[in-house]
Amino acid sequence: MEINRTLPAAPVTPLEATSRHDREPSSVPAGVASLRAREASMPLEALQEALRELPEIDLDRVLALRELLREKGLDTRPETLARSMLGHHRGQEG
């Protein structure tokens, strides 16, 4: 019996070509949206400079998460967290 480590080439359909990371997120921070609007006509150096101007932490998102935690709380029981993580990795969020 011969073991072959090379896999045959499989055709890539357009659906497979886009990953979930390639799709636009549902809510884009204003700084990122303005950067994306300018990036098509900017050289690499200008893009890097514009990126440096963005904050490292999205404060709007931090405030939204704090408010959500204040309203609903956070269940930190290990069983609940484990169930949530498994659901996330299995694509069963909701």
Q: What is the mean pLDDT of residues 52-67?
A: 88
Work out the mean pLDDT of the chain and round it to a whole number.
75
Q: What is the mean pLDDT of residues 59-66?
A: 89
Three-state DSSP at 32 gives helix
* pTM as predicted: 0.30
Any idea which residue has 């200008």 for tokens? 46
Region label for 58, one of left (φ > 0), alpha (ψ between -120 and 50) or beta (otherwise) = beta
- What 8-state DSSP symbol labels residue 36? H
Q: What is the mean pLDDT of residues 47-62?
A: 88
Q: What single string gives the DSSP state of each residue in 44-58? A: HHHHHHHHHHS-SS-
Instruction: Calculate the alpha carbon distances from 24 to 2, 3, 35, 41 in Å.
Output: 45, 41, 14, 20
Residue 39 and residue 47 in contact, taking contact as beta carbons nearer than 8 Å: yes
Domain spans, the chain? 30-89
